[in-house]
C-alpha cells in the first residue's frame, strides 16, 4: 500500500464515520431498540465485514431498509428474540454465498427491489413524523397515518415539549437540506446528516431544552441483549422463521443492489457477489450473537466513501474503529443528541429510499408495466406488509414475461482477431440474468465487443438493465463497443439503450 493510498483511505474513513454515526443512532431509534445495538452493528459492519467483503469499497452497517421489519418484530416477540433471528439469517446468507447464488439476487426485477425500498421509505417517514412532533410512532403504516391526528392535536393544544421537539426537528431538517444544496465546495465532504444532528444538539444543550435525548448506557454491553438457548429454541415458531427468511432475502438483495451501484461509481476491482454474501452472513451472525441490529451494504455510506477518495478496504475497516473509539472514550457526547434531530435524519433517508427518479427511468425506458409493478409493490408494502408487497411484485413481474418464460436466451461467443462477437438469440428474461452476467463479465478486457442480435425476440426490463449497466461500466473503462443486426421491432426495449451508450463512446 502506497503512502498516497493510505492517506486517502484514512481521510475517507473519517468522512464515512461522520456519515455513519448519526445513522447508527437513528436507525436504532427507528427500530425501537437501544442505541447500543445500532452502534455495535456499525462496528461489526466496518471491521468484520470490511475485512471479508467481496466489494472492498462498499460500507456496511445497520440499514434503514430493515428498521421497519425490526420494529414490528420487536413489538411482537421482544428484543431478545432478534439475536437468534439474525444468527439464522446470517447462516442462510453464508450458505447462499457457498452455493454461489449471489447473481440470482440481481435477477430480481428492479421494479420490485426499488418498490420494496420505496415502501420502506414511506413507512420510515410515516413513523418518524411522530418522533419529530415529540410523540411515539406506531407499528404499521396505516396505524401511523391514523395517529397523525393525535400528534397534531397535541401541538394545537399548545403542549410546550411537543412544540420544542418540533422546532428542533424542523431546524435539523432544514439545516440538512440547506447544507446539501448550498454547502461550500471546500466542505463538500462534510455530510448533511452531521450538520443537522449537530445543530439540533447545540440548540438542545445551549438552550437547556426539555427534550428527549438519546439514552446511552454506561457501557455498550449494558445496551445489548445477548440471546440464550431458550431464545434459539423459539426459532421454530412460524412467524419467527418467516422473519428469518425476510431479513436474509432483503438484506442480501439490498446489499447486492448497493454493490452493483458501487461498481458503477469507480473503475477499480469489481464486486465478487458470492464473497460479499458470505461476508454479510458472517457479519449478521456475529451481530445476532452480540444482540445487535441486522446489517447490509449501505449506498449512503458507500457513496460517501468513494467520493472521499477511498482506494482500499482499509477505509471501511477504519470507520468501524472510529465508531468504537468514540463510544469507548466519549459516550457522553451521544447522550446530548435529541431524538427529534435523529428523526430528521431518517426523514431524509426515507425520502431518498423512495427514489422517484427511478420511476421516471422505468417509464421512459420500459413503459407502464414496470411502473405498475413498482406502484403495486409500494402500495402493498405500506398497506399490508413487506412480505405481501414483495411477493405481489414478484408475481406481477412473472406475469409480465409469461408468454416468453419457456423460451431461452441463446448466447454464443466468437473470438475474432480484433474483437469478440457476442451473439444473442431468442428471448431473455430474469431467469437468464445469472448466465448473461457471467458471460459479460467473463469477456476479455483487452478486446472490442460486438453485440450481434441474430434473432432477438424479447428482453424483459431486468435483462435490459443488466446489459445497460454492463455497457455503462465498459464505456467508462474505455472499451470499444459495437452493435450489429438490430431489427428494432423485435426488441424495442434494448435499442434506445444501445443507441444512447454507443453514441456516447463513438
416 part of a folded domain: yes
Query: Do 97 and 171 lie in a common domain?
Result: yes
pLDDT at residue 168 greater than cutoff 80? yes
Query: Do 339 and 412 lie in a common domain?
Result: no
Least confident of 53-67, 94-108, 227-241: 94-108
181: cell is 444544496
Query: Do 63 and 177 lie in a common domain?
Result: yes
380 part of a folded domain: no
Indicate the pairing of strand 409-415 with strand 295-297: unpaired
- Encode pLDDT of 126-138 as tens digits: 888 888 888 888 7
CATH number at residue 415: 3.30.750.24
What are the residue ranges of helices labelled H in 264-313?
A: 273-290, 299-307
pLDDT score of 498: 52
319 closest CA partner among 120, 45, 106: 45
pLDDT score of 489: 45
- Encode pLDDT of 289-317 as tens digits: 999 999 999 877 888 888 777 888 999 99
Parent domain of 421: 404-505
368 part of a folded domain: no
- Encode pLDDT of 361-398 as tens digits: 777 777 788 889 899 999 998 888 777 888 898 888 88
Percent of the chain with pLDDT over 70: 94
Query: Do 83 and 207 lie in a common domain?
Result: yes
pLDDT at residue 67 greater than cutoff 60? yes
Residue 480: pLDDT band (50, 70, 90) is confident
Domain endpoint, select from 329, 348, 367: 348
Residue 496: pLDDT band (50, 70, 90) is low
Query: Do 116 and 204 lie in a common domain?
Result: yes
**For residue 449, with 0-12 CB atoms within 10 Å meaning exposed, 13-18 middle and 19 or more buried, which class applies?**
buried
Query: Do 334 and 419 lie in a common domain?
Result: no
Q: Residues 348, 63, 27, CA angle at the centre, nearest 5°?
A: 65
DSSP 8-state code for residue 226: -
Query: Do 421 and 309 lie in a common domain?
Result: no
End-to-end CA distance of the chain: 36
Residue 506: pLDDT band (50, 70, 90) is very low
Query: Do 215 and 326 lie in a common domain?
Result: yes
pLDDT at residue 505 greater than cutoff 60? no
- Encode pLDDT of 6-47 as tens digits: 878 888 888 888 888 888 888 998 888 988 899 999 999 999
3-state secondary structure of 329: helix
Domain endpoint, select from 348, 369, 393: 348
Please compute the mean of the pLDDT values over residues 467-474 and round it to a whole number.
Answer: 78
Query: Do 16 and 122 lie in a common domain?
Result: yes
235 part of a folded domain: yes
Residue 493: pLDDT band (50, 70, 90) is low
Query: Do 84 and 161 lie in a common domain?
Result: yes
Domain endpoint, select from 310, 327, 348: 348
Please compute the mean of the pLDDT values over residues 68-85 and round it to a whole number.
Answer: 91
361 part of a folded domain: no
DSSP, residue by residue, 364-415: HHH-HHHHHHHHHHHHHHHHT-HHHHHHHHHHHHHHHTGGGTTS-EEEEEEE
pLDDT score of 499: 52
pLDDT at residue 283 greater than cutoff 90? yes
| Domain count across the chain | 2
Query: Do 88 and 226 lie in a common domain?
Result: yes
Query: Do 289 and 411 lie in a common domain?
Result: no
pLDDT score of 170: 93
Cα(54)–Cα(499) distance, integer angstroms: 33
pLDDT at residue 163 greater than cutoff 80? yes
pLDDT score of 501: 45
pLDDT score of 414: 83
Residue 502: pLDDT band (50, 70, 90) is very low
421 part of a folded domain: yes
Element at 459 (helix H, strand E)? strand 448-459
Tell me what the pLDDT averaged over the chain comes to.
Answer: 83
Is 347 in contact with 26 (CB distance < 8 Å)? Answer: no
Instruction: With both helix axes pointing from N to C terminus, report the angle between 141-156 and 160-182 in degrees, rounded to the nearest 10.
Output: 110
Amino acid at each position: 500500500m502506497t503512502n498516497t493510498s493510505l492517506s486517502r483511505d484514512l481521510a475517507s474513513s473519517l468522512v464515512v464515520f461522520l456519515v455513519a454515526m448519526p445513522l447508527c443512532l437513528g436507525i436504532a431509534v427507528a427500530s425501537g431498540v437501544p442505541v447500543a445495538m445500532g452502534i455495535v452493528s456499525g462496528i461489526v459492519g466496518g471491521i468484520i465485514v470490511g475485512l471479508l467483503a467481496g466489494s472492498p469499497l462498499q460500507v456496511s452497517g445497520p440499514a434503514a431498509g430493515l428498521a421497519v421489519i425490526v420494529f414490528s418484530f420487536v413489538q411482537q416477540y421482544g428484543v431478545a428474540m432478534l439475536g437468534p433471528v439474525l444468527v439464522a439469517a446470517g447462516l442462510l446468507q453464508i450458505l447462499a454465498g457457498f452455493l454461489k447464488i449471489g447473481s440470482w439476487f440481481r435477477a430480481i426485477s428492479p421494479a420490485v427491489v426499488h418498490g420494496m425500498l420505496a415502501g420502506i421509505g414511506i413507512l420510515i417517514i410515516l413513523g418518524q413524523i411522530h418522533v419529530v412532533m415529540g410523540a411515539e410512532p406506531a407499528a404499521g403504516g396505516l396505524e401511523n397515518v391514523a395517529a397523525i391526528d393525535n400528534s397534531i392535536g397535541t401541538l394545537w393544544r399548545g403542549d410546550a415539549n411537543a412544540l420544542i421537539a418540533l422546532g428542533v426537528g424542523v431546524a435539523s431538517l432544514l439545516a440538512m437540506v440547506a447544507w446539501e444544496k448550498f454547502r461550500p465546495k471546500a466542505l463538500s465532504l462534510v455530510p448533511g446528516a452531521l450538520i443537522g444532528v449537530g445543530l439540533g444538539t447545540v440548540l438542545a444543550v445551549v438552550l437547556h431544552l426539555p427534550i428527549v435525548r438519546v439514552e446511552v448506557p454506561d457501557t455498550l454491553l449494558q445496551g445489548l441483549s445477548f440471546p440464550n438457548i431458550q431464545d434459539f429454541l423459539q426459532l421454530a415458531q412460524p412467524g419467527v422463521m418467516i422473519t428469518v427468511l425476510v431479513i436474509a432475502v432483503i438484506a442480501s438483495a439490498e446489499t447486492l443492489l448497493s454493490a452493483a451501484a458501487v461498481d458503477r461509481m469507480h473503475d477499480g476491482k469489481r464486486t465478487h457477489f458470492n464473497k460479499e454474501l458470505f461476508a454479510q452472513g458472517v457479519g449478521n451472525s456475529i451481530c445476532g450473537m452480540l444482540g445487535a441490529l441486522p446489517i447490509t451494504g449501505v449506498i449512503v455510506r458507500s457513496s460517501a466513501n468513494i467520493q472521499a477518495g477511498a482506494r482500499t478496504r482499509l477505509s471501511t475497516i477504519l470507520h468501524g474503529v472510529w465508531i468504537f473509539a468514540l463510544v469507548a472514550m466519549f459516550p457522553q457526547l451521544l447522550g446530548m443528541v435529541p431524538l427529534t434531530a435523529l428523526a430528521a435524519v431518517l426523514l431524509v433517508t426515507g425520502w431518498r429510499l423512495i427514489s422517484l427518479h427511478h420511476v421516471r427511468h422505468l417509464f421512459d425506458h420500459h413503459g407502464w408495466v414496470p411502473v405498475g409493478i413498482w406502484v403495486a409493490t409500494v402500495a402493498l408494502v405500506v398497506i399490508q406488509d413487506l412480505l405481501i408487497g414483495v411477493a405481489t411484485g414478484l408475481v406481477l413481474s412473472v406475469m409480465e414475461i409469461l408468454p416468453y418464460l419457456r423460451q431461452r436466451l441463446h448466447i454464443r461467443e466468437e473470438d475474432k482477431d480484433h474483437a469478440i462477437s457476442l451473439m444473442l438469440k431468442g428471448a431473455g428474461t430474469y431467469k437468464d440474468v445469472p448466465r448473461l452476467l457471467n458471460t459479460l463479465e467473463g469477456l476479455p478486457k483487452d478486446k472490442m465487443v460486438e453485440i450481434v442480435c441474430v434473432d432477438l425476440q424479447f428482453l424483459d426490463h431486468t435483462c435490459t438493465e443488466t446489459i445497460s449497466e454492463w455497457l455503462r461500466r465498459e464505456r467508462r473503462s474505455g472499451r470499444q463497443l459495437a452493435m450489429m443486426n438490430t431489427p428494432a421491432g423485435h426488441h424495442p426495449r434494448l435499442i434506445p439503450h444501445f443507441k444512447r451508450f454507443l453514441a456516447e463512446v463513438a
